[in-house]
Chain A
């Protein structure tokens, strides 16, 4: 960690990317197939098919828009093609303008106007090939380590997550913040029972009040369903792994964000400020949470797991970390960092944290994560309203 810069991509708005993706966004589920076909025809493009974009209103509609716009604005994306159907609630022109404010090229068209799937696929592939060719001429520049925004997440947790991999990730999180970078932690559901510890670390009373408020709101929503949240969270896999209650899971979760003060509670998919620790109000659901962080501008997401999960993300590399040796042996093609030596005394916390910190740096400098190599590009938008 002596080198404080790495090669990356300068964006016109002053931000830096660690990847140079061409992103193809469907504004609505009805555009998914056209988008997938275009992505097949243009290697090195990323498509984010999803189930939303129509029959939505209010904050729910806005949330879908914010996630699509934020994913396009993520600095790991160099250019964007938007494919609209032509009658959905997500306005493609507004989406294009929002993303274009970052200075990157954005083009859009609608399937109804172009004249059906076949013509839309051809039209889209032509645009996408041109955008890709322009992107491939981008010169790489020196990027300061302090420009990094890193998400921390845990999923498929077992007892090893709280005992070892999360505390180790916390050490790496402190290192990133110490270098001037930012860390974002989410999963409002998974701080239930541990919020008083994080609240004490909030920068001021307004931030801690907001933290309590979002946890209580989530808990009331769970209560409205009229069921014990156990079984849903902790999940059957968490329980098999030794976690008995949401409180136990939460107390094991929070160490992954390190020890810095929490500067602010930000909304799902809200842009993550540079420098320091932030809490994003998001569900614990792995893909929805990671997609919200990527939409907030996270360059990388560090993801601890004990049970094992293959998940990646569309535009942000996901570094998979485990302290469960047996799972690592079974699923090593999905795991990037093994810190199970913590539980056998072979590694101390500082060494385990340094392993993760080095991996963050290498991935920022271009090393592909296992999820990237395997083509994992999971993407999901959190839904908060009814389908009309």
Chain B
């Protein structure tokens, strides 16, 4: 998981397959940020405030989609998440360790 960090980048995408970037500073709505994704420098308009360390959608995410960071599944979208919006507990949920769900799914092997 060793990535080269670029000096002064606004955000970082950990893997080419990721749906999210992590903000490396406070991001305000309306700002256009620049970061590397799949080997290319891309720009993205920030749609809502994203705190340092929080995630921003780098593509539109449909309900039920398995959301990826580090190239791996970090949870499931519980709402439509437009590109540039904040991705967090209000619109994604964990799939594992869900004692609140009657028939909790067995551990996924290499989802």
Contacts and interface: CB of A to CB of B under 8 A. Distances in A.
Contact of A239 (B74, B89, B97, B106): B89
Interface in A187-238: 189, 192-197, 212, 215-216, 219, 222-230, 233
A159 B53 contact: yes
A345 interface: yes
A246 B93 CA distance: 9
B107 A349 contact: no
B53 A219 contact: no
Nearest to B12: A163
Interface string B69-82: 11011110000000
Given A244-B89, A245-B74, A212 B7 contact: no
B99 A223 contact: yes
B22 A159 contact: yes
Interface string B1-36: 110111111001010000000111000000000000
A223 B107 CA distance: 12
B64 interface: no
Nearest to A251: B70
Contacts of A345: 5-9
Nearest to B22: A159
Nearest to A197: B72
A358 to B, nearest CB: 19
Interface in B39-82: 51-55, 69-70, 72-75
Contacts of A219: 96-97, 104, 107
Contact of A230 (B69, B87, B94, B104): B94
Nearest to A166: B1
Given A196-B110, A226-B99, A245 B14 contact: no
Would you list the 7 A-B pairs with minimal beta carbon distance, nearest first?
Answer: A345-B7, A159-B53, A245-B94, A229-B97, A242-B53, A248-B74, A245-B75
Interface of B: 1-2, 4-9, 12, 14, 22-24, 51-55, 69-70, 72-75, 87-89, 92-101, 104, 106-111
